[in-house]
Structures are given as structure tokens and as C-alpha cells.
């Protein structure tokens, strides 16, 4: 039996698998199958179907084609691979739509026509089983399920006593990827509060944590194969992890020259509950700089918080921002502050009104005026999925009601908060180390560091892509930077610890 995994990329409230990230689903599946499986990306398939697997480089006036940018070593042999495939496992699903610099996740409406004529068994798995939507402000995609022989999430939603083996076995997938990847490491799933009206995580999983030794072994196995960029991101709150401090310490002891160790989701109330701020101190000590705690604030409007049973309140979020600034504001080895909060804001939740934006601005201004830093503010329109309480009660009522205000609201946050905040975090003259040249946009090269929510730096001219550079910051856009090369291409294995 010949198996092929088609990775169409995933983005969930807990877990990112869009390049340059490598998600957990294809790795666990490969480990479960326990044989040499073929690993393909949606980019491989697009290039094969649309351009007969011929890579075409952009002209100096053009932008990099990010739909076919993330190819595996298999792209030239994809025709043979698909002909010999007995079972095609499609990993797909976006639950928290975002903007991606160098990748485009596959949608069901795109993928189904591309695989319809393949003469093999087709299994759809991943978050798409519960719905998928690449754009905020919309319901999940509708599609013809008959194209698939099986649509199943539970088939590959392994218990952690099995994951400990499958995770190690699936590490070998990295050998089929020629480019650098940020490895998304799962520590647990489910949410111990689990009431937010829009969130799909409680639908997929009950609260459960992996054993610390299993997580450590997986990181070490990737490290042995040359991987040096990691995010402990596939959990709803890193601070709820029973062994958070010990894990960070042991990763650094076992992976001496790791280049990036970051995390993702954090519940602000857990930051406050952290006795003597020991977890925060450990994150600053053991993680690499540029690290961000993504706070799921969603709204500073108390009425919206109540209507949508959100996990935080304005006062709690503010206090958590203060704590992280106290310990994490110092600039680190890569030129970035060591550990800062990020805030998520969602438009379209139940109870939203003009007052909601006023409350958001009031609290964001307070954070800025008090001299604190937010590394990023993520603003999106809610995507609505079946099974959530928002789908059952409210649906898109407030999206329709307030949609005409969203651009204005977002732009005010960008102009009055994001722009001055960015200048505070990264003053002109700051040197950002190890920036990866990722794509072209005409005569501009867009670079960014590997990490969690890294800043994009635009550099005039066409630097050689997929190389590392030190960049001196010379200007600020609303959410990105302008820079120039301080030092030409760096040794890719060099560290700045």
C-alpha cells in the first residue's frame, strides 16, 4: 500500500501549520503509518496541474508567486507519485484566517477539482472536517463530500500515549522539505476554560497534556536532523502546562545552539495567577528573544466579553500586559525585545456596537500612554463554524450590522496605536539579526526573522532569497519595517547567543 500525504496547511486557534511553519498533522500521520510515505504540499500539486511542474522565476518587476513557493523535493516526480498512490490523505483546514507572507493555504473549493480525477482512495482530515474558511467574516466553505472516500478527524486525532511514538516516527518528513521550517510542537490540547463563542478548540479536543519527556524527545529528534527553529505553539495556554519551566530548561540543555525557541497562546488570567511570575521569568531566561505571548483578549468591551463568555476581561488583560513588559522588555540577541504580549481582537462577536471600538481604543491608548509595549495587534473578522455557540446563537448578525465600520475601526488602531508602538519597540538604527529573505515584490525584498509573528522588513533591491541577513532598520510602515543590509549573507548556522 502506497500512502501520500497532501499538506494543504492548517491554521487553528491552537496550532499553525502554514509555511514556514510545519504543523503536527502530517507528521503524526506519517509516524502512524510507520513506513516511507510521500509528502507533498498543495504548492507541489498546484505547480503540477497549472504549469506541468515547471518552476518559473519572477521577472524583476513581478512579485514572487507564493502559491507555488513551498515545494518539496518530490515536485518533479509528482506525476509518478500520484499514479502509484493507493491512499491520498489530505490535511486541510483554516479556522483563524490570517495573512500569510509566503504561502497560501489550500481551500476545499480549490483542492477538490485538483484531485477529483486521481484514481486512489481519498481521505480528508484536519480542521476542515469541522469547517474551513480562508477569509474572516464568512461562514465555513460548503463542498461535495462525495469526492472523498472518508471524511474523518478522529481517525488521526491520536491519544497522547500513541502520539509519543508517532511524533518521533513522523520527524522524517522534514527530509522531504528542502527549506528551513519552524517546527510547531504540541504540548497539549483542549481549553480548561473553553467557553469563547467562536472557538472550535473545545469541539475538537478535551483538555489533555503530553508527557514532558515525549515533548522533549520530539524536539531533540528534529534538532538532530538540523532543525533549529521551534515554537511550543499547539496549546491554548502555555502557562497551564504543568511542567512549563522544566520543559524550557531541558530543551535548552539538550539543544545547545537552538536558534529560535518561542511559544504562542497565553491566557492573560493565567499570567496573573502565576505565583511570583516564575513561568514568565523562565520564558525570558530560556526562550530566545523576539518571543510573543498571544493574548486572546478579542474585545475590551465588557458587554461583548459577557455575551461571548470570553476568557479575559479588560482589567486582567491590562495587568498581564504590565507583567510581561516588566520582565520581557529588555532587548535580546536578535535585536528584538525578549518577551512581549500580543493582542487578538475580533470583529463580529455578539453584542458588538460602536461602543466596542471606543472601549478597544480606550484600553489600547492606556497601554501605550503608560509606556508599555504590545508586539502586535492581530485584528480579524470572525469566521463562523458549525458547533460553536456563535453559530447556534447570533451567527453573522453583528458582522452584517457593523461591517461598514470595520475598515475605519481597524485603520484607527493601525494609525494611532500600531504605528507609534512599532517605533517604540524598534527604533531607527536597531539591527535585527538573522533576517530571512523570503519573497520579492518588484524591486523590494521582504525579509523576516524566524519566530512567532515576526516583523516583515522591506529592503530595496532583490537580495538572494532563502538566505540570512543582518538588517539595520531605517523606517517604519504601519505594521512593518524598512531596512538595509548591514552585513551580507550570514552563515546560516551561526547563532547570536
Mean of pLDDT values over 452-464: 97
Give the angle subtended at the CA of 325 by the CAs of 319 and 331, to the nearest 5°.
170
Helix axes 278-286, 244-254, angle to 10 degrees: 10
Strands of the sheet with 260-263, listed across from one edge: 21-22, 182-186, 229-234, 260-263
Pairing verdict, β 481-487 and 456-460: parallel
User: Is the backbone peptide bond immediately before 20 cis, with ω within 30 degrees of 0?
Assistant: yes
For residue 495, what pLDDT is reported? Answer: 35
Q: Which residue has the higher pLDDT, 496 or 348?
A: 348
If phi > 0 it is left, if psi is from -120 to 50 it is alpha, else beta; for residue 485 that is beta
**CA–CA distance, 204 with 469 (Å, rounded to integer):** 40
Contact between residue 472 and residue 497 where contact means Cβ atoms under 8 Å apart: no
pLDDT at residue 496 tops 60: no
* pLDDT tier, 494 (very low <50, low <70, confident <90, very high otherwise): very low
Residues 349-359 have a mean pLDDT of 97
Q: Is pLDDT of 304 > 70? A: yes
- Is residue 412 helix, strand or coil? helix
pLDDT of res. 493: 43
| Mean pLDDT in residue range 310-338 | 97
This prediction's pTM: 0.94
pLDDT, mean of residues 392-408 = 96
Is the distance from CB of 250 to CB of 222 less than 8 angstroms? no
Q: Cβ–Cβ contacts within 10 Å for residue 461, how many?
A: 10
Question: Strand, coil or helix: what is 46?
Answer: helix
- Tell me: pLDDT of 418 over 80: yes
Binned at pLDDT 50, 70 and 90, residue 440 comes out as very high
CA 127 to CA 91: how far, in whole Å?
Answer: 8
pLDDT score recorded for residue 487: 56
Note the pLDDT of residue 14.
Answer: 86
Q: Does the structure show a pLDDT above 80 at 465?
A: yes
pLDDT tens readout for residues 138-179: 999 999 899 999 999 988 889 999 999 999 999 999 999 999
Question: Kind of pairing, strands 444-449 and 431-441?
Answer: antiparallel
| Residue 150, beta-bridge partner list | 123
Superfamily of domain 431-487: Nucleic acid-binding proteins (2.40.50.140)
CA angle centred on 241, ends 297 and 375, rounded to 5°: 40
Average pLDDT over residues 315-320: 98
Determine the average pLDDT of the residues in 276-299. Answer: 97
**What is the overall mean pLDDT for the chain?**
95
Model confidence pLDDT, tens digit, residues 86-100: 999 999 999 999 999
Q: Which residues pair with 229 in a beta bridge?
A: 260
For the chain, the structural domain boundaries read: 3-156, 180-425, 431-487
Classify domain 180-425 by CATH number. Answer: 3.80.30.20
Dist CA 205 CA 370 (whole Å): 39
Amino acid at each position: 500500500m502506497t500512502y501520500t500525504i497532501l499538506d494543504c496547511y492548517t491554521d487553528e486557534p491552537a496550532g499553525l501549520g502554514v509555511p514556514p511553519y510545519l504543523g503536527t498533522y502530517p507528521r503524526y500521520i506519517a509516524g502512524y503509518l510507520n513506513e516511507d510515505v510521500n509528502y507533498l504540499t498543495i504548492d507541489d500539486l498546484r505547480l503540477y496541474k497549472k504549469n506541468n511542474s515547471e518552476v518559473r522565476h519572477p521577472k524583476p518587476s513581478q512579485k514572487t508567486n507564493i502559491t507555488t513557493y513551498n515545494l518539496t523535493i518530490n515536485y518533479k516526480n509528482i506525476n509518478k507519485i500520484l499514479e502509484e498512490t493507493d491512499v491520498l490523505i489530505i490535511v486541510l483546514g483554516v479556522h483563524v484566517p490570517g495573512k500569510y507572507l509566503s504561502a497560501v493555504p489550500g481551500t476545499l473549493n480549490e483542492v477538490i477539482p485538483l484531485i477529483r480525477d486521481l484514481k486512489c482512495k481519498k481521505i480528508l482530515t484536519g480542521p476542515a472536517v469541522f469547517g474551513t474558511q480562508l477569509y474572516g467574516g464568512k461562514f465555513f466553505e460548503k463542498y461535495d463530500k462525495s469526492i472523498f472516500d472518508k471524511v474523518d478527524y478522529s481517525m488521526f486525532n491520536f491519544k497522547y500515549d500513541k502520539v509519543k511514538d508517532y511524533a518521533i516516527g513522523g520527524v522524517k518528513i522534514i527530509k522531504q522539505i528542502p527549506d528551513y521550517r519552524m517546527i510547531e510542537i504540541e504540548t497539549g490540547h483542549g481549553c480548561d476554560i473553553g467557553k469563547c463563542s467562536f472557538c472550535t478548540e473545545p469541539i475538537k479536543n478535551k483538555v489533555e497534556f503530553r508527557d514532558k519527556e515525549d515533548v522533549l524527545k520530539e524536539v531533540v529528534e528534529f534538532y538532530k536532523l538540523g532543525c533549529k527553529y521551534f515554537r511550543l505553539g499547539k496549546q491554548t495556554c502555555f502557562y497551564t502546562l504543568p511542567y512549563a519551566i522544566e520543559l524550557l530548561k531541558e530543551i535548552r540543555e539538550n539543544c545547545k545552539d537552538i536558534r529560535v525557541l518561542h511559544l504562542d497562546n497565553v491566557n492573560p488570567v493565567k499570567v496573573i495567577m502565576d505565583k511570583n511570575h516564575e513561568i514568565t521569568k523562565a520564558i525570558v531566561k530560556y526562550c530566545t528573544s523576539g518571543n510573543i505571548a498571544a493574548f486572546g483578549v478579542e474585545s475590551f468591551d465588557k458587554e461583548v466579553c459577557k455575551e461571548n463568555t470570553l476568557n479575559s476581561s479588560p482589567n486582567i488583560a491590562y495587568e498581564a500586559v504590565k507583567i510581561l513588559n516588566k520582565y520581557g522588555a529588555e532587548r535580546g540577541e536578535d535585536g528584538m525585545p525578549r518577551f512581549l504580549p500580543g493582542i487578538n481582537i475580533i470583529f463580529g462577536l455578539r453584542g458588538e456596537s460602536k461602543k466596542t471600538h471606543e472601549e478597544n481604543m480606550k484600553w489600547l491608548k492606556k497601554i501605550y500612554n503608560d509606556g508599555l509595549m504590545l508586539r502586535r495587534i492581530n485584528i480579524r473578522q470572525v469566521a463562523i463554524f458549525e458547533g460553536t455557540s456563535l453559530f447556534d446563537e447570533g451567527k453573522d448578525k453583528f458582522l452584517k450590522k457593523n461591517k461598514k465600520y470595520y475598515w475605519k475601526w481597524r485603520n484607527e488602531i493601525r494609525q494611532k496605536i500600531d504605528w507609534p508602538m512599532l517605533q517604540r519597540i524598534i527604533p531607527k538604527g536597531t539591527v535585527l539579526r538573522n533576517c530571512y529573505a523570503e519573497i520579492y515584490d518588484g524591486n523590494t525584498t521582504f525579509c523576516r526573522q524566524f519566530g512567532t509573528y515576526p516583523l516583515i522588513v522591506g529592503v530595496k533591491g532583490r537580495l538572494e532569497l532563502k538566505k540570512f541577513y543582518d538588517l539595520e532598520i531605517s523606517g517604519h510602515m504601519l505594521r512593518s519595517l524598512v531596512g538595509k543590509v548591514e552585513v551580507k549573507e550570514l552563515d546560516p548556522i551561526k547563532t547570536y547567543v
